[in-house]
Structure 1
Amino acid sequence: MFKIIVDLFLMVIIQAAITPFIRRLAFVLGAVDNPNARRVNKKPMPTIGGLGIFVTFNIGAFILLREQFPTHELFSVLLASSVIILTGMIDDILELKPGQKMVGIFVGAMIVYYLAGIQMNVINIPFTHRSFYLPWYLSLPITIFWILALTNAVNLIDGLDGLASGVSCISLLTMGIVGYYFLRNQGLYVPIACFMLAVCLIGFLPYNFNPAKIFLGDTGALYLGFMIAVLSLKGLKNVTFISLLVPVLILGVPISDTVYAMIRRKLNKRPISQADKHHLHHQLMSLGLTQRQTVLVIYALSLIFSFVSMLALLSPGWAMTLLIIGLLVAVELFVESIGLLGEKYKPLTHLISHLVLGSTKHQEPKVEVWHQGQAKPEQLKHEVQPPAGKKTKSKQKHKS
Structure 2
Amino acid sequence: MIDLQWILLAFMGSLILTPLVKKYSVLAKAYAKENERTVHHGLISRIGGVAIYLSFIVVASLFIEVDSTINGVILGGSIMFFAGLVDDLIDLKPRMKLFLELIAAIVAIYFGVRVDIIRLPFGITIDIGIFSVLFTLIWIIGITNAVNLIDGLDGLAGGLCVIVLIIIGSMAIIERRLDIMSLAFILASSILGFLVYNCHPASIFMGDCGSLFLGFMVSTISIMGFKSSTIMTLALPVLILMVPIIDTLSAILRRTLKGQRFMQADKSHLHHLLMRQFGHRNTVIILCGVTSLFGVSAFVYMINRTIGFFVMLAILFGVELFIEKSSMISNHYHPILSVSHWIQAQGIRLKNKRKK
Query: Larger deviation: 139-148 or 330-339?
Result: 330-339
Structure in which a larger fraction of residues adopt helix: 2
| Residue equivalent to 2:354 | none
Deviation at 1:30, TM superposition (A): 2.6
Is 1:322 aligned with 2:321? no
Is 1:169 aligned with 2:162? yes
Deviation at 1:232, TM superposition (A): 0.9
Counterpart Cα distance in 2 of 1:321 and 1:251: 16
1:295-310 matched pairs, under 5 angstroms: 295-310=284-299
1:129-144 matched pairs, under 5 angstroms: 131-135=125-129, 137-144=130-137
Counterpart Cα distance in 2 of 1:302 and 1:231: 17
Deviation at 1:230, TM superposition (A): 0.8
| Residue equivalent to 2:109 | 113
CA contact (8 A) 1:127 1:241 kept: no
Counterpart Cα distance in 2 of 1:319 and 1:179: 21
Q: Percent identity?
A: 33
Aligned residue pairs total 351
| Residue equivalent to 1:274 | 264
- AA in 2 matched with 1:308: S
Counterpart Cα distance in 1 of 2:347 and 2:93: 50
Deviation at 1:359, TM superposition (A): 6.2
Query: Larger deviation: 307-316 or 85-94?
Result: 307-316
Q: Deviations over 1:311-342 (max 9, x none)?
A: 111123x4344333323322111212223124
- AA in 1 matched with 2:109: Y
| Residue equivalent to 2:353 | none
Deviation at 1:57, TM superposition (A): 0.6
Unpaired runs of at least 5, structure 2: 351-356
Deviation at 1:44, TM superposition (A): 2.2
CA contact (8 A) 1:80 1:109 kept: yes
Counterpart Cα distance in 1 of 2:73 and 2:316: 34
Please give the secondary structure, in 2, of the residue aligned with 1:358.
helix
- AA in 1 matched with 2:138: F
Counterpart Cα distance in 1 of 2:207 and 2:182: 25
Higher relative contact order (CA 8 A, sep 6+): 2
Counterpart Cα distance in 1 of 2:182 and 2:146: 23
Deviation at 1:255, TM superposition (A): 0.6
Q: Deviations over 1:63-105 (max 9, x none)?
A: 2x13xx2243443333222211111011111112221111111
CA contact (8 A) 2:87 2:208 kept: yes
| Residue equivalent to 1:398 | none
Unpaired runs of at least 5, structure 1: 363-400
Is 1:230 aligned with 2:229? no
Is 1:285 aligned with 2:262? no
Counterpart Cα distance in 2 of 1:325 and 1:56: 38
Deviation at 1:361, TM superposition (A): 8.0
| Residue equivalent to 2:240 | 250
Please give the secondary structure, in 2, of the residue aligned with 1:168.
helix
| Residue equivalent to 1:123 | 118
Deviation at 1:216, TM superposition (A): 0.8
| Residue equivalent to 1:13 | 12
TM-score by length of 2: 0.92
Counterpart Cα distance in 1 of 2:244 and 2:341: 29
- AA in 2 matched with 1:26: S
Question: Which protein shows a greater Rg?
Answer: 1
CA contact (8 A) 2:225 2:232 kept: no
CA gap of 1:286–1:343, structure 2 versus 1, over 3 A, is farther
CA contact (8 A) 1:127 1:240 kept: no
Counterpart Cα distance in 1 of 2:55 and 2:226: 24
CA gap of 1:101–1:211, structure 2 versus 1, over 3 A, is same
- AA in 2 matched with 1:165: G
Is 1:211 aligned with 2:204? no
| Residue equivalent to 1:102 | 98
**CA RMSD, aligned part only?**
2.2
| Residue equivalent to 1:349 | 337
CA gap of 1:126–1:171, structure 2 versus 1, over 3 A, is closer
TM-score by length of 1: 0.82
Counterpart Cα distance in 2 of 1:242 and 1:335: 28
CA contact (8 A) 1:32 1:45 kept: yes
Deviation at 1:241, TM superposition (A): 7.8
Counterpart Cα distance in 1 of 2:258 and 2:322: 20
Counterpart Cα distance in 1 of 2:188 and 2:37: 28
Counterpart Cα distance in 2 of 1:125 and 1:221: 29
